């Protein structure tokens, strides 16, 4: 390695450490669905995105194992070479039907999908595409905007008047980017209103359903599905409520055909392995029938928001299974996470640059796999271990 590189990196790491923004990888162990820390202590998991507990579901694990046994551990190549199998196409067809779209295309991850599909869409045809992106959109969307080399115009979070004003001044092709459930605030975009705005301004609408898929909308099909085809491009992930891995884009047949031909992040990468496809296939069997789990998740999320409100924590506009407890400084957020962990609850502190400076927080996420005893322990820990905040 270049002799000058490490000192440079160390300087950067030291600055992050001084600002309480240094991140470290900690090992976690899951034994039969229970989370243990490195010392073997059992913790309530209030930080994962496994919202329906499917990563531990017997059917999901069994089909992953069965498809690996039958089809092999890995895909042998990229999709356009020998990486497309009948099972790949069958899972894509099922995903399209689940999202009530004409077609769907698998991607290696949600990050990769956003990072590569957005530039592929923004650079089609002559002239520029004006991109409009919610200020709280995920880092992968931001990455996609940068890769598009288009100047993205950032609209204030969920502020449709601001977006309307920006759109009014724009010319040429227009692309609006939003999440349906925002990953760090747990609030929802108003998709029907966004769709109307997009139509009025002749803009295409791209919706990231990473945190809605499986959890919200009719039978867990996401919030875009409830808009009846008004969303042009839907991105969803398979490593969250689906308990597996990977992502997909769903939309028109033409959109998918275009991406197969013109999206480098799809073309030049190895296909998803059979075990992942098997897990996704099993999740597709299960998710539509999990309304009982979704109802419990929503009820428990409200209980947690109420418990945090009693300690004067701002949970922003959360109305989902993602519940922020805003604290402020990095140091205080880390201390709060530590206190909860000592009380047996894992609630990781989220700090800048993931969230804005001064809004470091605990990002609590719930799973329908948490039983009543888990919830009682979690709510007790919030009531007894989180410092009471001064009232605003
Ligand atoms: C809104 C959003 N989009 C995309 C991603 C990336 O998905 P993946 O984990 O599959 O790369 C995430 C992951 O946290 C996310 O929160």
Position 164 confidence tier, pLDDT thresholds 50, 70, 90: very high
Q: Is the pTM of this model over 0.85?
A: yes
Q: What is the mean pLDDT of residues 206-225?
A: 97
Pocket test for ligand 1, best of 118, 138, 224, 354 (most atoms within 8 A of CB): 138
Beta bridge partners of 323: 364
Atom of ligand 1 lying closest to residue 137 CA: 1
Question: What pLDDT, in 10s, does the model give residues 349-372?
Answer: 999 999 999 999 999 999 999 999
What torsion, rounded to 10 degrees, do the Cα atoms 305, 370, 288, 215 define? Answer: 30
Q: What is the mean pLDDT of residues 180-203?
A: 97
Q: Residue 391: pLDDT above 60?
A: yes
- 53 vs 191: CA distance, rounded Å: 27
Answer yes or no: 49 catalytic: yes
Atom of ligand 1 lying closest to residue 237 CA: 10
Task: State if residue 180 touches ligand 1 by the CB under 6 angstroms criterion.
Answer: no
Position 1 confidence tier, pLDDT thresholds 50, 70, 90: low
Task: State if residue 324 touches ligand 1 by the CB under 6 angstroms criterion.
Answer: no
In the reported structure, the alpha carbon of residue 250 is separated from the centroid of ligand 1 by a whole-number distance in angstroms of 16
Position 2 confidence tier, pLDDT thresholds 50, 70, 90: low
Q: What is the mean pLDDT of residues 227-252?
A: 96
Position 54 confidence tier, pLDDT thresholds 50, 70, 90: very high
Position 228 confidence tier, pLDDT thresholds 50, 70, 90: confident
The full DSSP string for 253-283 is: HHHHHHHHHH-HHHHTSBPPPHHHHHHHHHH
Which of 172, 183, 101 is CA-nearest to residue 134?
Answer: 183
Q: Residue 208: pLDDT above 80?
A: yes
Q: Residue 150: pLDDT above 80?
A: no
Q: Residue 178: pLDDT above 90?
A: yes
Range list of H helices, the chain: 5-18, 58-71, 86-98, 110-122, 139-147, 160-168, 191-201, 253-262, 264-267, 274-286, 291-310, 330-342, 372-385
- 36 vs 55: CA distance, rounded Å: 16
């Amino acid at each position: 390695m270049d002799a000058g590189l490490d000192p440079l990196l160390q300087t950067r790491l030291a600055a992050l450490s001084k600002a309480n923004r240094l991140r470290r990888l900690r090992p976690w162990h899951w034994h039969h669905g229970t989370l243990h820390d490195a010392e073997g202590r059992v913790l309530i998991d209030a930080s994962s995105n496994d919202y329906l507990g499917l990563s531990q579901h017997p059917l999901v694990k069994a089909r992953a194992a069965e498809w690996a046994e039958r089809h092999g551990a890995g895909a042998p190549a990229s999709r356009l070479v020998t990486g497309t199998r009948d099972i790949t196409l069958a899972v894509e067809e099922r995903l399209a039907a689940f999202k009530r779209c004409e077609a769907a295309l698998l991607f290696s991850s949600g990050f990769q999908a956003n990072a590569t599909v957005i530039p592929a869409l923004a650079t089609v045809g002559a002239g520029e595409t004006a991109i409009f992106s919610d200020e709280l959109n995920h880092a992968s969307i931001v990455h996609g905007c940068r890769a598009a080399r288009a100047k993205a115009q950032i609209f204030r979070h969920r502020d449709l008047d601001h977006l309307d004003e920006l759109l009014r001044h724009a010319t040429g092709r227009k692309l609006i980017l939003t999440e349906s459930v925002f990953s760090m605030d747990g609030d929802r975009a108003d998709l029907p209103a966004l769709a109307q705005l997009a139509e009025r301004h002749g803009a295409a609408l791209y919706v990231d359903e990473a945190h809605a898929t499986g959890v919200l909308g009719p039978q867990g099909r996401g919030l875009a599905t409830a808009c009846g085809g008004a969303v042009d491009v839907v991105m969803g992930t398979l490593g969250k409520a689906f308990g597996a891995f990977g992502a997909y884009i769903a939309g028109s047949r033409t959109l998918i055909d275009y991406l197969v031909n013109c999206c480098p992040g799809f073309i030049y990468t190895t296909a998803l392995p059979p075990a992942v496809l098997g897990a996704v296939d099993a999740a597709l069997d299960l998710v539509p029938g999990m309304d009982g789990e979704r109802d419990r998740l929503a009820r428990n999320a409200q209980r947690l928001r109420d418990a945090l409100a009693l300690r004067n924590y701002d949970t922003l506009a959360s109305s989902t299974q993602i519940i922020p407890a805003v604290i402020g400084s990095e140091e205080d957020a880390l201390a709060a996470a530590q206190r909860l962990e000592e009380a047996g609850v894992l609630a990781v502190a989220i700090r800048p640059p993931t969230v804005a400076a001064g809004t470091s927080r605990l990002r609590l996420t719930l799973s329908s796999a948490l039983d009543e005893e888990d919830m009682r322990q979690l709510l007790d820990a919030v009531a007894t271990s989180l410092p009471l905040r001064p009232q605003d």
